[in-house]
Amino acid sequence: MRLANWAAIAAITVVVALLLFPLHAHAGRSCESRKPTPDVITRGMQLAERTSAALDASGARAVLLARAGQDLQRHGLQYSHLGLAYKTKDGAWRVVHKLNHCGTAVATLYRQGLGEFFLDDLWRHEAAWEIPTPAVQAQLLALLQGPSADILRLNTPAYSIVSYAWGQKYQQSNQWAIETLAAAMEPATIRSRAQAQAWLQFKGYEPTTLRLGALTRLGGRLSSANVAFDDHPNEKRFNDRIETVTVDSVFAWLPRAGLGSQPVRLKL
C-alpha cells in the first residue's frame, strides 16, 4: 500500500485510538499523555508500511513482532514490547498484544493493525521480528485465527511491568506473548499459565535478570501502579535479582530452542 493511503488511514486510526484508549492503553513505552504529532503519525505509518512489505516478502504467516517504545539501554535491552503478528486471509497483517491501562495495574488484550501498533511516540522507530519455523507458525496461526476464548485463556488482567517470569500473580505483555506461544504449541495439554511456564522451562527459556536495588524497587512501587515486586521470591528480590520476560530474552531463546530464526531488524 502506498504511503499516501497509509497516511489517510492514519488520520482515521488516530481518532479511533484516542476514543478507545485516550490516556490508558500503553505497553513498552511511557505513560505520558501526549497527542500524536504529524511527524509521529507519518513515521509510525512509514514503519508500518515498510514492515508490512518486508513481512510479505519473507513469506511468513506468523511472527513475533517487537517495537522500541522505551529507552531500556541502561538495562542492556533493545526492545520493550512484543506482540504476536499474523497475516489474515485478505493479506493484511494484524497484531495481538497486551496493553496496560496507564495509571492502573490492569491490562487488556488488543487486536490491531501494524499502523496502530507503531502509532506511538516510540523511543526508536525500529521494528524487529523473529520468524518461527513453519511448524510453529502453523500452530500459532491456528490459535490467532481461532476463537477469541483461546487467545484469552492464559490472560491475567493483573499487570506488573516487572512480573516474575515464573509466577502467576501478575502478567506483563511479553510474558503473555510467550505463554500464549506455548499454549499454541500444545493446545490439547496446556490449559493454565503454570503448564505454559513448565513448557517454556522444558524448552530452555531463560528470563532476563534485572539488577534493581532496594531504592529503585521502592521508588517504582510507590510511584507507579503498574510496578510490583511482591511476586518475586524473597531470596531473589532482596538480592536485587528481578527475573522477568523481555523481548531480548525471547529473541535469544527462539533460535537457541530451534523454534525460530535470528531476529530481523528494520529501522527508519
Q: Please give the tally of structural domains in the chain.
A: 1
AA letter at 179: E
DSSP letters along 210-244, please? Answer: E---HHHHHHHHHH-TT---TTS-HHHHTTT-EEE
pLDDT value at 41 more than 60: yes
pLDDT tier, 267 (very low <50, low <70, confident <90, very high otherwise): very high
Which tens digits make up the pLDDT trace of 89-111? 999 999 999 999 877 899 999 99
Average pLDDT of the chain, as a whole number: 86
Strands 93-101 vs 124-130: parallel, antiparallel or unpaired: unpaired
- The answer to whether 60 and 85 are in contact (CB under 8 A) is no
Q: Is the Cβ–Cβ distance between 96 and 84 less than 8 Å?
A: yes
Lowest mean pLDDT among 45-54, 85-94, 210-219: 210-219
Interaxial angle between packed helices 38-58 and 3-20, expressed in degrees from 0 to 180 and rounded to the nearest 10: 110
Domain boundaries, position 72: 3-267
Residue 53 has pLDDT above 90, yes or no: yes
pLDDT in tens, 212-234: 744 344 334 434 678 899 999 99
Give the model's pLDDT for residue 225.
79
* Mean pLDDT on 27-38: 61
| 50 in Cβ contact with 92 (< 8 Å) | no
Give the pLDDT confidence score for residue 231 in this predicted structure.
Answer: 95
Whether the CB-CB separation of 109 and 33 falls below 8 Å is answered with: no
User: 99 by DSSP, 3-state: which?
Assistant: strand
Across residues 32-50, what is the average pLDDT? 85
